[in-house]
Structure 1
Amino acid sequence: MTAPVVLHAPATPASPALVLRPWRTEDAAALVEVSGDPGLRLWAEPGVDDDAHAARWVRVQQQGWVTGDRRGFAVLEVRPGPVREQLAGSVVLKGAAPGRPAAEVGYWTAARSRGRGVAPRALEALTAWAFETFGADGLERLELLHQVDNPASCRVAQKSRYDFDGILPASPPAFPHDGHLHVRRASA
């Protein structure tokens, strides 16, 4: 059995250090807590409503590691004190496999962690890991998609050096608005 993947992003003046690690069953309660945020529900899954739904969502993330279809990470802020880790968000790598030149990244941030650089730092850690891990197998680019009416995601993409690549047509009901495609190449 291989060791679990754990990624780190250093602290900044505005935000504590981050630890990115695969989702665990014990993360379900924190997932329910942050999922009540209307802003999160507007732009991203998980949209979980209770402990049972959160447990199922976490199992899907864990199964993604087993199948290799998706590699989801809980993003935790590390603070001194009795509660050392607090759920700040999630990042995911979808579709990375040997021989595939492209994969997709996604993320969401808990309301209490927004505006402090958590999403760009977590995305940067995931991006570096993805190219380091899958680059020798042919991964050349990562794609980040979001709806055009989500300017915060555009800012995260820009801060993370994902270049705007084009407009994607709406695909209702899941994507009722056009989308932006941002790309980061391995050479960037």
Structure 2
Amino acid sequence: MTSPMTLTVDPTATAPALTLRPWQDSDIPVVVAAHRDTVMRRWLMRSLDDEDQARAWLADLDAGWAAGTALSWAIEQDGTVVGSFVVKAANPPKTLATGVGYWTVAEARGKGIASRCVEAATEWLFNGQDIMPADEIELLHTVGNDGSCRVARKCGYALDSVLAPLPPEFPDYGHRHLRKRPS
């Protein structure tokens, strides 16, 4: 059983530190508000419409921690939740490697938050932790999600393949970006 933990993303010259912390029940209103954003909903596998669905989502996240299959955090900047970040264990044939995923609230997009979290998590996964060891990490997104494609490239994740749709969970083509542990 894996216990939730906190990760810190260092500040930059132009941006404050970020904290990746376990989700809390008090975050439910932020989650529901974020999921009302039509831009974000377009790319999500699971959209949440109300507090009951958000509560169920948080219970699923807790189950992922307990099973060691998905480590999920709220991204916090200056005391405000600005997004979500997850590290998922490989789950063949859907995912062939450890994966990272994220979303940010509308006000936080385009500020480098997702790429800073991906980079920090990549370093954490590759450098000595024993919770979810990884030799390669994949970043999957729907074709057309240009923001996620930019994050992948910025963080050194090469486009590995174009994935065919797998309805109903993945109704559109996808990109699989991959980064391997440095030798």
Q: TM-score range by the shorter chain?
A: 0.7 to 0.9
User: Residue 39 in 1 paired to residue 43 in 2?
Assistant: no
User: Residue 74 in 1 paired to residue 69 in 2?
Assistant: no
Instruction: Tell me, in whole angstroms, the C-alpha distance in 2 between the residues paired with 1:187 and 1:39.
Output: 35
Q: Given that residues 168 and 180 in structure 1 are in contact (C-alpha distance below 8 angstroms), is that contact kept between their aligned partners in structure 2?
A: yes
User: Residue 52 in 1 paired to residue 55 in 2?
Assistant: no
Structure 2 unmatched ranges of 5 or more: none
- 1:34-183 to 2 correspondence within 5 Å? 34-78=34-78, 85-95=79-89, 102-132=97-127, 133-134=129-130, 139-183=134-178
Structure 1 residue 69, shift from structure 2 partner:
1.1
**TM-score normalized with structure 2 length:** 0.87
User: Residue 12 in 1 paired to residue 1 in 2?
Assistant: no
Q: Given that residues 3 and 66 in structure 2 are in contact (C-alpha distance below 8 angstroms), is that contact kept between their aligned partners in structure 1?
A: no
Give the direction of change, closer, same or farther, for the CA distance of 1:131–1:149 in structure 2 (3 Å limit).
same
Structure 1 residue 14, shift from structure 2 partner:
4.7
- 1:24-35 to 2 correspondence within 5 Å? 24-35=24-35
Residue 70 of structure 1 aligns with an amino acid whose one-letter code is A
Residue 106 of structure 2 aligns with an amino acid whose one-letter code is A
Give the stretch that moved more between structures: 42-51 or 27-36. Answer: 42-51
Give the direction of change, closer, same or farther, for the CA distance of 1:45–1:26 in structure 2 (3 Å limit).
farther
Three-state SS of the structure 2 residue aligned to 1:108 is strand
Three-state SS of the structure 1 residue aligned to 2:52 is helix
Give the stretch that moved more between structures: 168-177 or 153-162. Answer: 168-177
Instruction: Tell me, in whole angstroms, the C-alpha distance in 1 between the residues paired with 2:108 and 2:46.
Output: 16
Q: Given that residues 20 and 76 in structure 1 are in contact (C-alpha distance below 8 angstroms), is that contact kept between their aligned partners in structure 2?
A: yes
Structure 1 unmatched ranges of 5 or more: 79-84
Q: CA RMSD in A?
A: 2.4
Q: Which runs of 4+ in 1 moved over 4 A?
A: 1-4
Structure 1 residue 27, shift from structure 2 partner:
1.5
Three-state SS of the structure 1 residue aligned to 2:169 is coil
Instruction: Tell me, in whole angstroms, the C-alpha distance in 1 between the residues paired with 2:65 and 2:177.
Output: 24
Give the stretch that moved more between structures: 165-174 or 118-127. Answer: 165-174
Three-state SS of the structure 2 residue aligned to 1:29 is helix
Alignment coverage as a number of residue pairs: 178
Q: Given that residues 161 and 184 in structure 1 are in contact (C-alpha distance below 8 angstroms), is that contact kept between their aligned partners in structure 2?
A: yes
